[in-house]
């Protein structure tokens, strides 16, 4: 049985890295194509769209990961949903009734959230873009509306993703992501070559979102069995899940204020060129983050299952290996990207410039520290334990304060946008939650690193042989 699990994990990890790797490579091709084809202002507006998209994800309010995790618990046989920890395990067989209730709950909830987004984003988006340095015409307005439609469709059909990931269908999940990404890039290069417009990019993005949700629906179809849910039962599930989802949601708000709001604030004072440069660099580091997080993301459902079954030692082994692997990959890819990006942009005669080496290294350090802290937070989430909500909210508030101070008072430009995040995170989060993790699970930082490095070396040795 153990060999079967290891074999499945190895296959899932391979698919995860294949999907993230192909997505990474396609982005390396597509991003330079965009910054060479679209105007500086269009790229700046595109990165502001991405910032608005990040704002839209706040409406999830933590229900996404909470529902996904509870789907894993239901599949593991738990009897009922509980706010923290795990209820009594009924055995190895799936609790189909609880799973069906979760599907019905998520379907109804996300349809409501989608409509709420529509009512809020249109006026909020209009007011925001009216106060930026960007010029607007009818075509750009249509681009905004198409991008908004993509966000709404993504939310409406999001429960398919929860089911596929919660049931540990890692291969199907990554195939859908990979196929949608490849469609987005290939169609983007083909169509934008003839019609180099921001509206064209938004239409292709919309098509890729629809395609991805279709593939997720196909992967979920055999297990998608929602049942009729009474209003009383809906409220019961909402109350049980809200305990942790609200903490997730508040954490997401804090993270948004810390890492996303600076580019939105910067849009009001910085030039389109600076916004494009900052957005491009953050996008590259975002790709590094996603690729480096792939192993932990793949193993998170298995860690949840092991913790649910009381196998803390095995869950810790999986985490230590994922942590060390993620750290090594992040640093290598981040340094390599910073080294090659300026030369590559010069080679393709890009309309967007790369930030200075000193500023990039400082941004890389800031992003890496947050990435490292995030890995420990992910493990605590898999243990159905979220103690860092207040800290992230306060950090987000501090980030907004420092961003305003550095941009509007001291006029530090891009340095101000980066410094605000670094200072607000370094004060507390970057060190405290690693210390908290060590105390809670009674394992030292160095012991965890040693175990993870041992697993990492064995994996590398096995891959080379």
Residue 135 binned pLDDT confidence (cut-offs 50, 70, 90) = low
* pLDDT score of 252: 76
| pLDDT exceeds cutoff 90 at 229 | no
How many percent of the chain have pLDDT more than 90?
28
For every residue of 232-245, which 3-state class applies, written as one string? HHHHHHHHHHHHHH
13-23 core/surface letters (b: 16 or more CB in 10 A; e: else): bebbbebbebb
Tokens 């508040």 correspond to 250
C-alpha angle 152-157-160 in degrees, rounded to nearest 5: 155
Distances (CA, A) of 4 to 1, 77, 119, 218, 363: 5, 20, 49, 25, 42
Segment among 91-100, 130-139, 209-218 with least mean pLDDT: 130-139
Residues 6+ apart with CB under 8 A from 164: 172, 173, 176, 216, 219, 220
| pLDDT exceeds cutoff 80 at 192 | yes
| pLDDT exceeds cutoff 70 at 324 | yes
* pLDDT score of 179: 87
| pLDDT exceeds cutoff 70 at 137 | yes
* pLDDT score of 156: 93
* pLDDT score of 240: 86
| pLDDT exceeds cutoff 80 at 422 | yes
Distances (CA, A) of 262 to 20, 108, 111, 123, 402: 27, 33, 30, 21, 10
Q: Please give the residue that has the higher pLDDT: either 133 or 285.
A: 285
Average pLDDT in the chain: 83
Across the range 184-190, mean pLDDT stands at 86
* pLDDT score of 32: 73
In 58-197, alpha helices (H):
63-75, 96-130, 138-156, 158-166, 170-194
What is the distance between the alpha carbons of residues 26 and 105, in angstroms, rounded to a whole number? 36
| pLDDT exceeds cutoff 70 at 427 | yes
Strand partners, 78: 89
Residue 206 binned pLDDT confidence (cut-offs 50, 70, 90) = very high
First and final C-alpha spacing in the chain: 25
Largest CA-CA distance found in the chain, in angstroms, rounded: 62
DSSP 60: G
Residue 433 binned pLDDT confidence (cut-offs 50, 70, 90) = very high
Q: Write down the pTM of the prediction.
A: 0.71
Q: Please give the residue that has the higher pLDDT: either 387 or 16.
A: 387
Are the C-beta atoms of residues 353 and 273 closer than 8 Å to each other? yes
| pLDDT exceeds cutoff 90 at 437 | yes
Distances (CA, A) of 30 to 190, 209, 233, 334: 11, 17, 47, 18
Q: How many residues does the chain have?
A: 465
Residue 6 binned pLDDT confidence (cut-offs 50, 70, 90) = very low
Q: Please give the residue that has the higher pLDDT: either 174 or 365.
A: 365
* pLDDT score of 168: 79
Q: Which of 59, 40, 456 is nearest to 256 (CA)?
A: 59
* pLDDT score of 23: 63
């Amino acid at each position: 049985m153990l060999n079967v699990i290891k074999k499945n994990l190895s296959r899932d990890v391979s698919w995860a890295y294949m999907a993230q790797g192909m997505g990474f490579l396609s982005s390396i091709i597509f991003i330079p194509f965009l910054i060479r084809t679209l105007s500086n202002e269009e790229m700046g507006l595109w990165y502001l769209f991405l910032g608005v998209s990040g704002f839209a994800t706040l409406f999830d309010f933590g229900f996404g990961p909470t529902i996904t995790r509870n789907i894993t618990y239901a599949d593991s046989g738990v009897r009922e949903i509980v706010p923290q920890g795990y209820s009594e395990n009924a055995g190895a067989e799936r609790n189909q009734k609880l799973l069906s209730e979760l599907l019905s709950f998520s379907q109804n909830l996300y349809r409501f959230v989608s409509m709420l987004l529509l009512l809020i984003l249109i006026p909020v988006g209009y007011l925001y873009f009216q106060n930026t340095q960007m010029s607007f015409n009818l075509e750009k307005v249509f681009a905004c509306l198409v991008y908004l439609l993509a966000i709404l469709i993504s939310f409406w059909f999001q429960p398919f993703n929860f089911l596929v990931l919660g049931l540990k269908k890692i291969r199907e999940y990554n195939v859908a992501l990979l196929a949608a990404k490849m469609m987005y890039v290939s169609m983007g290069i083909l169509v934008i070559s003839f019609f180099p417009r921001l509206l064209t990019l938004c239409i292709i993005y919309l098509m890729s979102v629809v395609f991805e949700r279709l593939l997720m629906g196909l992967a979920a179809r055999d297990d998608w069995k929602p049942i009729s849910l009474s209003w009383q039962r809906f409220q019961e599930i909402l109350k049980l899940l809200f305990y942790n989802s609200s903490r997730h949601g508040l954490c997401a708000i804090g993270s948004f204020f810390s890492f996303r709001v600076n580019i939105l604030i910067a849009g009001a004072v910085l030039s389109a060129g600076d916004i494009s440069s900052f957005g491009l660099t953050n996008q590259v580091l975002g790709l590094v983050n996603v690729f480096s997080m792939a192993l932990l993301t793949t193993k998170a459902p298995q860690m949840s299952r092991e913790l649910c079954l009381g196998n803390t030692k095995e869950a810790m082994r999986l985490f230590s290996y994922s942590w060390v692997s993620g750290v090594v990959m992040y640093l290598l890819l981040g340094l390599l990207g910073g080294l090659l990006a300026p030369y590559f942009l010069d080679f393709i005669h890009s309309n967007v410039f790369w930030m200075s080496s000193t500023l990039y290294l400082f941004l890389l350090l800031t992003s890496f520290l947050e990435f490292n802290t995030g890995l420990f937070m992910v493990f605590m989430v898999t243990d159905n334990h979220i103690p860092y909500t207040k800290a992230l909210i306060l950090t987000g508030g501090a980030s907004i304060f420092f961003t305003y101070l550095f941009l509007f008072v001291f006029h530090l430009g891009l340095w101000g946008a980066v410094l605000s995040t670094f200072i607000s995170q370094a004060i507390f989060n970057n060190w405290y939650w690693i210390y908290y993790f060590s105390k809670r699970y009674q394992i030292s930082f160095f012991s965890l690193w040693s175990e993870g490095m041992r697993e990492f070396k064995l994996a590398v040795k096995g891959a080379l042989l």
